[in-house]
Protein backbone atom coordinates (compact mmCIF):
# COMPACT_ATOMS: atom_id res chain seq x y z
CA UNK A 1 0.00 0.00 0.00
CA UNK A 2 1.41 3.38 -1.02
CA UNK A 3 1.54 6.37 1.30
CA UNK A 4 -1.22 7.99 -0.75
CA UNK A 5 -3.49 4.97 -0.30
CA UNK A 6 -2.70 4.80 3.42
CA UNK A 7 -3.60 8.46 3.84
CA UNK A 8 -6.85 7.91 1.95
CA UNK A 9 -7.98 5.01 4.15
CA UNK A 10 -6.90 6.75 7.34
CA UNK A 11 -9.14 9.69 6.46
CA UNK A 12 -11.96 7.33 5.47
CA UNK A 13 -11.80 5.42 8.82
CA UNK A 14 -11.61 8.73 10.67
CA UNK A 15 -14.82 9.91 9.05
CA UNK A 16 -16.51 6.58 9.83
CA UNK A 17 -15.37 6.71 13.48
CA UNK A 18 -16.51 10.31 13.81
CA UNK A 19 -19.91 9.43 12.37
CA UNK A 20 -20.27 6.45 14.70
CA UNK A 21 -19.30 8.63 17.63
CA UNK A 22 -21.91 11.25 16.72
CA UNK A 23 -24.59 8.56 16.38
CA UNK A 24 -23.60 7.12 19.79
CA UNK A 25 -23.83 10.52 21.45
CA UNK A 26 -27.22 11.20 19.85
CA UNK A 27 -28.57 7.83 21.05
CA UNK A 28 -27.32 8.45 24.59
CA UNK A 29 -28.90 11.91 24.62
CA UNK A 30 -32.21 10.51 23.38
CA UNK A 31 -32.20 7.85 26.08
CA UNK A 32 -31.24 10.20 28.90
CA UNK A 33 -33.06 13.39 27.94
CA UNK A 34 -36.24 11.70 26.75
CA UNK A 35 -38.86 12.24 29.49
CA UNK A 36 -39.78 9.20 31.54
CA UNK A 37 -43.32 8.25 32.42
CA UNK A 38 -44.61 10.92 34.75
CA UNK A 39 -45.81 9.99 38.23
CA UNK A 40 -49.61 9.48 38.16
CA UNK A 41 -51.57 12.61 39.18
CA UNK A 42 -53.05 10.84 42.21
CA UNK A 43 -49.54 10.65 43.72
CA UNK A 44 -48.79 14.32 43.04
CA UNK A 45 -52.09 15.97 43.94
CA UNK A 46 -54.42 15.36 46.87
CA UNK A 47 -57.97 14.42 45.89
CA UNK A 48 -59.68 15.51 49.17
CA UNK A 49 -62.14 12.70 48.49
CA UNK A 50 -63.34 11.75 51.97
CA UNK A 51 -66.19 14.24 51.57
CA UNK A 52 -67.87 15.87 48.60
CA UNK A 53 -67.59 19.35 50.14
CA UNK A 54 -64.59 20.67 52.04
CA UNK A 55 -66.81 22.08 54.81
CA UNK A 56 -67.90 18.55 55.73
CA UNK A 57 -64.31 17.46 56.30
CA UNK A 58 -63.24 20.66 58.05
CA UNK A 59 -65.92 20.06 60.69
CA UNK A 60 -63.66 17.26 61.91
CA UNK A 61 -60.29 18.93 62.35
CA UNK A 62 -58.27 16.99 64.91
CA UNK A 63 -58.82 18.18 68.48
CA UNK A 64 -56.07 16.64 70.60
CA UNK A 65 -56.02 17.00 74.40
CA UNK A 66 -52.74 18.24 75.92
CA UNK A 67 -51.12 17.36 79.23
CA UNK A 68 -51.07 20.30 81.62
CA UNK A 69 -47.84 21.94 82.79
CA UNK A 70 -47.20 23.20 86.30
CA UNK A 71 -47.32 26.94 86.95
CA UNK A 72 -44.13 28.73 85.95
CA UNK A 73 -43.34 26.44 83.01
CA UNK A 74 -41.79 27.92 79.89
CA UNK A 75 -42.50 26.89 76.28
CA UNK A 76 -38.87 27.34 75.24
CA UNK A 77 -37.60 25.05 72.48
CA UNK A 78 -34.09 24.15 71.35
CA UNK A 79 -33.73 22.20 68.09
CA UNK A 80 -30.82 19.75 67.97
CA UNK A 81 -31.94 17.58 65.05
CA UNK A 82 -30.72 17.53 61.46
CA UNK A 83 -33.54 19.61 59.99
CA UNK A 84 -32.38 18.72 56.48
CA UNK A 85 -33.83 15.25 56.94
CA UNK A 86 -37.38 16.47 57.36
CA UNK A 87 -37.74 17.03 53.62
CA UNK A 88 -37.85 13.24 53.18
CA UNK A 89 -41.35 13.00 54.65
CA UNK A 90 -44.32 12.56 52.27
CA UNK A 91 -46.31 15.59 51.13
CA UNK A 92 -49.57 13.76 50.40
CA UNK A 93 -50.96 11.02 52.62
CA UNK A 94 -53.88 8.62 52.87
CA UNK A 95 -56.83 9.42 55.14
CA UNK A 96 -59.25 6.68 56.19
CA UNK A 97 -62.88 6.41 57.26
CA UNK A 98 -63.54 4.85 60.64
CA UNK A 99 -66.31 2.29 60.19
CA UNK A 100 -68.11 3.18 63.41
CA UNK A 101 -70.78 0.60 64.32
CA UNK A 102 -74.32 1.48 65.27
CA UNK A 103 -76.03 -0.30 68.13
CA UNK A 104 -77.56 -3.59 67.06
CA UNK A 105 -80.92 -4.96 68.19
CA UNK A 106 -78.97 -8.09 69.15
CA UNK A 107 -76.47 -6.18 71.32
CA UNK A 108 -77.36 -8.02 74.52
CA UNK A 109 -77.22 -11.40 72.80
CA UNK A 110 -73.81 -10.52 71.33
CA UNK A 111 -72.58 -9.38 74.74
CA UNK A 112 -73.64 -12.69 76.27
CA UNK A 113 -71.74 -14.62 73.60
CA UNK A 114 -68.58 -12.61 74.28
CA UNK A 115 -68.98 -12.97 78.06
CA UNK A 116 -69.30 -16.73 77.75
CA UNK A 117 -66.11 -16.93 75.67
CA UNK A 118 -64.24 -14.99 78.37
CA UNK A 119 -65.54 -17.38 81.06
CA UNK A 120 -68.57 -15.63 82.57
CA UNK A 121 -72.08 -16.97 83.08
CA UNK A 122 -73.92 -15.23 80.21
CA UNK A 123 -77.25 -15.31 82.04
CA UNK A 124 -75.91 -13.34 85.00
CA UNK A 125 -76.11 -10.05 83.14
CA UNK A 126 -76.67 -6.65 84.69
CA UNK A 127 -77.85 -3.89 82.38
CA UNK A 128 -76.52 -0.36 82.95
CA UNK A 129 -79.30 1.50 81.19
CA UNK A 130 -78.84 1.26 77.43
CA UNK A 131 -75.10 1.88 77.60
CA UNK A 132 -73.46 -1.36 78.73
CA UNK A 133 -73.79 -4.87 80.15
CA UNK A 134 -71.96 -6.01 83.29
CA UNK A 135 -71.04 -9.60 84.21
CA UNK A 136 -69.59 -10.61 87.59
CA UNK A 137 -67.56 -13.72 88.40
CA UNK A 138 -67.42 -13.77 92.22
CA UNK A 139 -65.50 -17.05 92.33
CA UNK A 140 -62.51 -15.58 90.51
CA UNK A 141 -63.05 -11.94 91.61
CA UNK A 142 -63.53 -10.69 88.05
CA UNK A 143 -65.82 -8.14 86.43
CA UNK A 144 -66.56 -7.65 82.73
CA UNK A 145 -68.27 -4.59 81.29
CA UNK A 146 -69.23 -4.58 77.60
CA UNK A 147 -70.38 -1.47 75.73
CA UNK A 148 -73.73 -2.03 74.03
CA UNK A 149 -73.06 0.05 70.91
CA UNK A 150 -69.71 -1.33 69.81
CA UNK A 151 -68.81 -4.36 72.00
CA UNK A 152 -65.70 -2.63 73.35
CA UNK A 153 -65.05 -3.92 76.86
CA UNK A 154 -63.02 -3.95 80.07
CA UNK A 155 -62.13 -7.07 82.02
CA UNK A 156 -60.80 -6.46 85.53
CA UNK A 157 -59.65 -8.75 88.33
CA UNK A 158 -59.50 -7.66 91.97
CA UNK A 159 -55.89 -6.60 92.79
CA UNK A 160 -55.85 -8.77 95.92
CA UNK A 161 -56.68 -11.83 93.83
CA UNK A 162 -53.86 -11.07 91.36
CA UNK A 163 -51.35 -10.57 94.19
CA UNK A 164 -52.42 -13.84 95.82
CA UNK A 165 -51.87 -15.81 92.60
CA UNK A 166 -48.62 -13.97 91.82
CA UNK A 167 -47.21 -14.84 95.25
CA UNK A 168 -47.52 -18.56 94.50
CA UNK A 169 -46.84 -18.56 90.78
CA UNK A 170 -44.37 -17.52 88.13
CA UNK A 171 -44.73 -14.91 85.42
CA UNK A 172 -44.44 -16.21 81.86
CA UNK A 173 -41.50 -15.15 79.73
CA UNK A 174 -41.86 -12.06 77.57
CA UNK A 175 -42.32 -14.19 74.46
CA UNK A 176 -44.91 -16.43 76.13
CA UNK A 177 -46.78 -13.40 77.51
CA UNK A 178 -47.08 -11.90 74.03
CA UNK A 179 -48.16 -15.25 72.63
CA UNK A 180 -50.79 -15.74 75.36
CA UNK A 181 -52.24 -12.26 74.81
CA UNK A 182 -52.30 -12.63 71.03
CA UNK A 183 -53.81 -16.13 71.19
CA UNK A 184 -56.52 -14.91 73.52
CA UNK A 185 -57.54 -12.08 71.17
CA UNK A 186 -57.50 -14.47 68.22
CA UNK A 187 -59.68 -16.98 70.10
CA UNK A 188 -62.22 -14.22 70.73
CA UNK A 189 -62.11 -13.12 67.07
CA UNK A 190 -60.78 -9.70 68.11
CA UNK A 191 -57.37 -9.55 66.43
CA UNK A 192 -57.58 -7.52 63.21
CA UNK A 193 -55.12 -7.55 60.30
CA UNK A 194 -53.77 -4.04 60.89
CA UNK A 195 -52.56 -5.08 64.36
CA UNK A 196 -50.56 -7.92 62.84
CA UNK A 197 -48.29 -5.34 61.18
CA UNK A 198 -47.23 -3.81 64.52
CA UNK A 199 -44.95 -5.21 67.21
CA UNK A 200 -46.61 -5.55 70.65
CA UNK A 201 -44.98 -3.53 73.42
CA UNK A 202 -44.31 -4.93 76.89
CA UNK A 203 -44.26 -3.31 80.36
CA UNK A 204 -43.70 -4.96 83.75
CA UNK A 205 -46.32 -3.95 86.34
CA UNK A 206 -46.39 -3.77 90.14
CA UNK A 207 -49.63 -3.68 92.12
CA UNK A 208 -49.48 -1.08 94.87
CA UNK A 209 -51.13 -1.54 98.32
CA UNK A 210 -54.05 0.66 97.23
CA UNK A 211 -54.64 -1.52 94.16
CA UNK A 212 -53.20 0.97 91.64
CA UNK A 213 -50.52 0.02 89.13
CA UNK A 214 -46.95 1.25 88.79
CA UNK A 215 -43.99 0.26 86.61
CA UNK A 216 -41.82 -2.58 87.95
CA UNK A 217 -38.08 -2.21 87.59
CA UNK A 218 -37.59 -5.84 86.53
CA UNK A 219 -39.41 -9.07 85.78
CA UNK A 220 -38.47 -10.49 89.18
CA UNK A 221 -40.34 -7.66 90.94
CA UNK A 222 -43.39 -7.65 88.66
CA UNK A 223 -46.82 -9.14 89.30
CA UNK A 224 -48.18 -8.56 85.80
CA UNK A 225 -46.93 -8.04 82.26
CA UNK A 226 -48.83 -5.47 80.24
CA UNK A 227 -48.96 -6.17 76.49
CA UNK A 228 -49.91 -3.16 74.36
CA UNK A 229 -50.95 -3.94 70.82
CA UNK A 230 -49.71 -1.65 68.05
CA UNK A 231 -51.72 -0.85 64.95
CA UNK A 232 -50.33 0.23 61.58
CA UNK A 233 -51.88 1.83 58.51
CA UNK A 234 -50.53 2.71 55.10
CA UNK A 235 -49.51 6.31 54.35
CA UNK A 236 -48.91 5.60 50.65
CA UNK A 237 -50.19 2.69 48.55
CA UNK A 238 -48.73 1.64 45.17
CA UNK A 239 -50.21 -1.27 43.17
CA UNK A 240 -47.62 -3.05 41.05
CA UNK A 241 -49.70 -2.90 37.85
CA UNK A 242 -49.56 0.88 37.32
CA UNK A 243 -47.13 2.46 34.89
CA UNK A 244 -43.97 3.62 36.64
CA UNK A 245 -44.59 1.58 39.80
CA UNK A 246 -41.02 0.27 39.97
CA UNK A 247 -39.47 3.76 39.74
CA UNK A 248 -41.91 5.14 42.32
CA UNK A 249 -41.11 2.34 44.77
CA UNK A 250 -37.35 2.85 44.35
CA UNK A 251 -37.68 6.60 44.82
CA UNK A 252 -39.93 6.42 47.88
CA UNK A 253 -37.85 3.71 49.53
CA UNK A 254 -34.75 5.88 49.19
CA UNK A 255 -36.45 9.13 50.19
CA UNK A 256 -38.43 7.80 53.15
CA UNK A 257 -35.65 5.51 54.34
CA UNK A 258 -38.04 2.59 54.80
CA UNK A 259 -38.96 -0.59 52.97
CA UNK A 260 -42.56 -1.04 51.83
CA UNK A 261 -44.79 -3.84 53.03
CA UNK A 262 -45.74 -6.22 50.22
CA UNK A 263 -49.21 -7.73 50.21
CA UNK A 264 -51.25 -9.61 47.61
CA UNK A 265 -54.81 -8.90 46.61
CA UNK A 266 -57.21 -10.17 43.95
CA UNK A 267 -58.50 -7.65 41.39
CA UNK A 268 -60.70 -8.83 38.51
CA UNK A 269 -59.77 -12.44 39.30
CA UNK A 270 -56.06 -11.68 38.99
CA UNK A 271 -53.44 -11.58 41.73
CA UNK A 272 -51.99 -8.12 42.25
CA UNK A 273 -49.04 -7.11 44.41
CA UNK A 274 -49.50 -3.96 46.48
CA UNK A 275 -46.65 -2.01 48.10
CA UNK A 276 -47.52 0.07 51.16
CA UNK A 277 -45.49 2.49 53.25
CA UNK A 278 -46.88 2.05 56.75
CA UNK A 279 -46.74 4.02 59.97
CA UNK A 280 -48.06 3.32 63.45
CA UNK A 281 -51.32 4.54 64.96
CA UNK A 282 -50.79 6.57 68.14
CA UNK A 283 -53.05 7.71 70.96
CA UNK A 284 -53.78 10.72 73.23
CA UNK A 285 -50.93 9.53 75.49
CA UNK A 286 -48.19 7.78 73.54
CA UNK A 287 -47.50 5.15 76.23
CA UNK A 288 -51.17 4.14 76.53
CA UNK A 289 -52.85 2.07 73.84
CA UNK A 290 -56.44 1.21 72.97
CA UNK A 291 -55.88 -2.53 73.28
CA UNK A 292 -53.92 -3.72 76.32
CA UNK A 293 -53.81 -7.20 77.87
CA UNK A 294 -52.38 -7.89 81.34
CA UNK A 295 -50.81 -11.33 81.71
CA UNK A 296 -49.73 -12.93 85.00
CA UNK A 297 -48.98 -16.23 86.67
CA UNK A 298 -51.37 -19.00 85.66
CA UNK A 299 -54.41 -19.40 87.91
CA UNK A 300 -54.69 -23.16 88.23
CA UNK A 301 -57.96 -22.89 90.18
CA UNK A 302 -59.80 -20.97 87.45
CA UNK A 303 -61.43 -23.69 85.37
CA UNK A 304 -64.28 -21.61 84.00
CA UNK A 305 -62.59 -19.82 81.12
CA UNK A 306 -60.38 -22.43 79.52
CA UNK A 307 -56.60 -22.43 79.45
CA UNK A 308 -56.29 -19.33 77.25
CA UNK A 309 -57.85 -17.11 79.97
CA UNK A 310 -56.18 -18.62 83.04
CA UNK A 311 -53.26 -16.18 82.93
CA UNK A 312 -55.22 -13.12 81.67
CA UNK A 313 -56.24 -10.71 84.45
CA UNK A 314 -57.18 -7.50 82.69
CA UNK A 315 -58.17 -6.51 79.17
CA UNK A 316 -58.71 -2.92 78.04
CA UNK A 317 -60.25 -3.28 74.60
CA UNK A 318 -61.24 -0.28 72.47
CA UNK A 319 -61.36 -1.09 68.78
CA UNK A 320 -62.52 1.27 66.05
CA UNK A 321 -62.77 -0.53 62.69
CA UNK A 322 -61.01 1.33 59.87
CA UNK A 323 -61.83 0.91 56.18
CA UNK A 324 -59.16 -1.08 54.33
CA UNK A 325 -58.89 1.44 51.50
CA UNK A 326 -58.36 5.17 52.10
CA UNK A 327 -61.33 7.46 51.55
CA UNK A 328 -59.04 10.12 50.09
CA UNK A 329 -55.63 11.76 50.08
CA UNK A 330 -54.76 15.09 51.69
CA UNK A 331 -51.84 17.49 51.51
CA UNK A 332 -49.74 17.99 54.63
CA UNK A 333 -48.26 21.13 56.10
CA UNK A 334 -44.47 21.08 55.88
CA UNK A 335 -42.58 19.50 58.79
CA UNK A 336 -40.76 22.81 59.23
CA UNK A 337 -44.11 24.59 59.63
CA UNK A 338 -45.15 22.01 62.23
CA UNK A 339 -41.96 22.64 64.21
CA UNK A 340 -42.55 26.40 64.04
CA UNK A 341 -46.10 25.96 65.33
CA UNK A 342 -44.85 23.78 68.18
CA UNK A 343 -42.21 26.38 69.05
CA UNK A 344 -45.04 28.93 69.18
CA UNK A 345 -46.71 26.80 71.86
CA UNK A 346 -49.44 25.35 69.62
CA UNK A 347 -48.42 21.70 69.91
CA UNK A 348 -50.18 19.17 72.13
CA UNK A 349 -48.06 17.52 74.85
CA UNK A 350 -48.94 13.82 74.98
CA UNK A 351 -46.00 12.42 76.98
CA UNK A 352 -43.97 14.09 79.74
CA UNK A 353 -42.15 11.95 82.31
CA UNK A 354 -38.72 11.75 83.90
CA UNK A 355 -36.07 9.75 82.03
CA UNK A 356 -36.67 6.05 82.74
CA UNK A 357 -39.41 7.16 85.11
CA UNK A 358 -42.73 5.54 85.94
CA UNK A 359 -45.07 6.33 83.06
CA UNK A 360 -47.64 3.75 84.19
CA UNK A 361 -48.83 5.96 87.07
CA UNK A 362 -51.23 8.78 86.36
CA UNK A 363 -49.55 11.91 85.00
CA UNK A 364 -49.05 14.86 87.34
CA UNK A 365 -48.18 18.33 85.97
CA UNK A 366 -44.45 19.18 85.91
CA UNK A 367 -42.64 22.50 85.75
CA UNK A 368 -40.62 22.61 82.53
CA UNK A 369 -37.72 24.99 81.89
CA UNK A 370 -36.98 23.93 78.31
CA UNK A 371 -37.88 21.42 75.61
CA UNK A 372 -34.93 20.11 73.58
CA UNK A 373 -35.92 18.43 70.30
CA UNK A 374 -33.43 15.58 69.84
CA UNK A 375 -35.29 13.25 67.48
CA UNK A 376 -36.30 13.67 63.85
CA UNK A 377 -39.95 14.60 63.32
CA UNK A 378 -42.10 11.74 62.04
CA UNK A 379 -45.71 10.97 61.10
CA UNK A 380 -48.26 8.72 62.79
CA UNK A 381 -52.02 8.36 62.55
CA UNK A 382 -54.14 9.53 65.48
CA UNK A 383 -56.80 7.44 67.19
CA UNK A 384 -58.73 8.33 70.35
CA UNK A 385 -60.65 6.29 72.88
CA UNK A 386 -63.69 8.20 71.64
CA UNK A 387 -65.32 7.87 68.24
CA UNK A 388 -63.78 9.85 65.38
CA UNK A 389 -65.02 9.97 61.77
CA UNK A 390 -61.55 9.87 60.13
CA UNK A 391 -58.13 8.40 60.81
CA UNK A 392 -55.91 11.45 60.24
CA UNK A 393 -52.13 11.96 60.48
CA UNK A 394 -50.19 13.90 63.11
CA UNK A 395 -46.57 14.98 63.30
CA UNK A 396 -44.70 13.76 66.37
CA UNK A 397 -41.91 15.91 67.80
CA UNK A 398 -39.87 14.28 70.59
CA UNK A 399 -36.87 14.93 72.77
CA UNK A 400 -35.67 15.86 76.25
CA UNK A 401 -37.52 18.02 78.75
CA UNK A 402 -35.54 19.94 81.35
CA UNK A 403 -37.56 20.08 84.57
CA UNK A 404 -37.10 22.30 87.57
CA UNK A 405 -33.82 21.44 89.28
CA UNK A 406 -32.32 20.46 85.91
CA UNK A 407 -33.91 17.01 86.12
CA UNK A 408 -34.14 15.44 82.67
CA UNK A 409 -37.32 14.03 81.22
CA UNK A 410 -38.71 12.89 77.88
CA UNK A 411 -41.55 14.40 75.88
CA UNK A 412 -43.72 13.76 72.84
CA UNK A 413 -45.72 16.56 71.21
CA UNK A 414 -48.35 16.17 68.48
CA UNK A 415 -49.30 18.65 65.81
CA UNK A 416 -52.06 17.90 63.23
CA UNK A 417 -50.33 17.17 59.90
CA UNK A 418 -53.08 17.96 57.36
CA UNK A 419 -52.97 21.45 55.85
CA UNK A 420 -56.55 22.40 56.67
CA UNK A 421 -56.09 25.84 55.06
CA UNK A 422 -55.98 24.37 51.54
CA UNK A 423 -58.54 21.56 51.84
CA UNK A 424 -60.80 21.65 48.77
CA UNK A 425 -63.97 20.01 47.54
CA UNK A 426 -63.51 16.49 46.22
CA UNK A 427 -61.34 16.40 43.08
CA UNK A 428 -61.71 13.76 40.36
CA UNK A 429 -58.16 12.92 39.30
CA UNK A 430 -57.28 10.80 36.26
CA UNK A 431 -56.71 7.19 37.21
CA UNK A 432 -53.13 5.96 37.08
CA UNK A 433 -52.22 4.27 33.78
CA UNK A 434 -52.23 0.51 34.04
CA UNK A 435 -49.52 -1.55 32.37
CA UNK A 436 -50.54 -3.42 29.25
CA UNK A 437 -50.70 -7.15 29.74
CA UNK A 438 -47.99 -9.13 27.97
CA UNK A 439 -49.17 -12.28 26.25
CA UNK A 440 -46.80 -15.07 25.26
CA UNK A 441 -47.57 -17.35 22.33
Q: What is the pLDDT of residues 45-81, one digit of tens each?
A: 899 999 999 999 999 999 999 999 999 999 899 988 7
Of 45-59, 86-100, 170-184, the poorest mean pLDDT is in 86-100
Average pLDDT, the chain: 87
Cα–Cα distance measured from residue 414 to residue 437, given in angstroms and rounded to the nearest whole number: 45
From 168, 158, 127, 130, select the one nearest 145 (Cα to Cα): 127
Strand 77-79 vs strand 312-317: parallel, antiparallel, or unpaired? Answer: unpaired
Cα–Cα distance measured from residue 158 to residue 283, given in angstroms and rounded to the nearest whole number: 27
Cα–Cα distance measured from residue 148 to residue 106, given in angstroms and rounded to the nearest whole number: 9
Contact 243, 435 (CB under 8 A): yes
Would the pLDDT of 438 be above 60? no
pLDDT score, position 429:
85
Would the pLDDT of 319 be above 90? yes
How much is the average pLDDT of 413-427? 97
Strand 213-215 vs strand 232-239: parallel, antiparallel, or unpaired? Answer: unpaired
H or E element, residue 226: strand 224-228
- Residue with the bigger pLDDT between 31 and 234: it is 234
Would the pLDDT of 25 be above 50? no
- Residue with the bigger pLDDT between 91 and 26: it is 91
How much is the average pLDDT of 306-316? 86
pLDDT score, position 12:
53
Confidence band of 194 (pLDDT split at 50, 70, 90): confident
Of 54-68, 129-143, 263-277, 286-300, the poorest mean pLDDT is in 263-277
pLDDT score, position 39:
63
Amino acid sequence: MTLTEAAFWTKRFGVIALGAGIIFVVVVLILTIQPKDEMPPEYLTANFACTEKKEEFLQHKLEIPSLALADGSEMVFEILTDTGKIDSLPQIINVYDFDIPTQSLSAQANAKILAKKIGFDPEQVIRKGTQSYVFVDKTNSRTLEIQAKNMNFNLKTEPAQIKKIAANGTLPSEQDAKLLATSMLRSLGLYSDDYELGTPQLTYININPDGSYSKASSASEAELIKIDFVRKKSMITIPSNIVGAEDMIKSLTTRLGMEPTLTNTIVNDERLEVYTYDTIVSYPETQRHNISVYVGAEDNENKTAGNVMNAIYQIDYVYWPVQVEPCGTYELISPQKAIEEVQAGKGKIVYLYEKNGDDVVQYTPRKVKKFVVTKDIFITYYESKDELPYLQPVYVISGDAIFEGDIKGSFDIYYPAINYDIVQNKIELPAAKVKEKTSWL
